[in-house]
């Protein structure tokens, strides 16, 4: 058996991995960059919420600094992203999916689905951005369409369902997840 020197199994031998932008950068990171881009251009004000943490113990070594020394992650009761765009409240969750064939519904908390249902009911634009990481495809799914699937008997949604019922967000360079283009089209009836 040949022992490769470390790093020799380079991924650059696999050409299709170059076909879409910024592979390896997480969806969260790309969305933060995209939201920052929208903010700089004054197109929308959309932020990721901080990770909810239960703080138990804080050290104050001096007046200026506080160090949290004991804290725990909490289950989020809302979605991760929200803000305002063209006079409407925007609310969404983003998920990466490593399967090529289906999206497991267990990867979205039931609180988050309930939250999406509620905000839509009150007039927000609610959706989920789902990236099939191995396919390099990122879809925007309307929250109510996803909820309908989540209320069904199945535990996952086939990839093909997304092809027919969700909107593919084109892979672009900057911003890398230009989801407002899709929002313009489906919620404001504009041509892409």
User: What is the contact surface with a second copy in residues (CB under 8 A)?
Assistant: 39, 42, 44-45, 47, 49-53, 55, 65-74, 77-78, 82-91, 115, 118-119, 121-124
- Residue closer to a second copy by CB (options 44, 157) is 44
Provide the minimum distance between the beta carbon of 183 and a second copy in the complex, in angstroms, as a whole number: 13
Provide the minimum distance between the beta carbon of 82 and a second copy in the complex, in angstroms, as a whole number: 6
- Residue closer to a second copy by CB (options 139, 179) is 179
User: Which contiguous run of DSSP H or E holds residue 143?
Assistant: helix 143-150
Provide the minimum distance between the beta carbon of 116 and a second copy in the complex, in angstroms, as a whole number: 10
The residues near 83 (Cβ < 8 Å, ≥ 6 apart) are 35, 44, 45, 46, 47, 89, 90
* CA–CA dist 160, 61 (Å, integer): 56
- Residue closer to a second copy by CB (options 29, 49) is 49
Provide the minimum distance between the beta carbon of 161 and a second copy in the complex, in angstroms, as a whole number: 27
- Residue closer to a second copy by CB (options 90, 157) is 90
* CA–CA dist 149, 137 (Å, integer): 20
The residues near 73 (Cβ < 8 Å, ≥ 6 apart) are 51, 52, 53, 54
* CA–CA dist 33, 125 (Å, integer): 21
């Amino acid at each position: 058996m040949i022992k490769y020197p470390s790093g020799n199994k380079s991924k650059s031998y696999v050409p299709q991995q170059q076909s879409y932008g910024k592979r390896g950068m997480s969806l969260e990171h790309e969305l933060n960059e995209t939201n920052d881009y929208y903010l700089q251009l004054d197109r929308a004000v959309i932020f990721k919420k901080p990770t909810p943490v239960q703080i138990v113990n804080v050290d104050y070594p001096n007046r200026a600094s506080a160090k949290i020394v004991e804290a725990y992650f909490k289950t989020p009761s809302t979605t991760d992203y929200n803000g305002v765009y063209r006079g409407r409240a925007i609310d969404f969750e983003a998920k990466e999916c490593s399967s090529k064939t289906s999206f497991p519904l267990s990867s979205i908390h039931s609180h988050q689905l309930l939250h999406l249902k509620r905000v839509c009911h009150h007039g927000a634009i609610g959706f989920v951005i789902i990236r099939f990481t191995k396919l390099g495809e990122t879809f925007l799914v309307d929250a109510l369409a996803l909820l309908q699937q989540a209320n069904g008997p199945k535990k996952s949604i086939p990839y093909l369902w997304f092809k027919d019922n969700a909107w593919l967000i084109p892979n672009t360079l900057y911003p890398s997840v230009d989801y407002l283009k899709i929002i313009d089209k489906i919620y404001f009836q504009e041509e892409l």
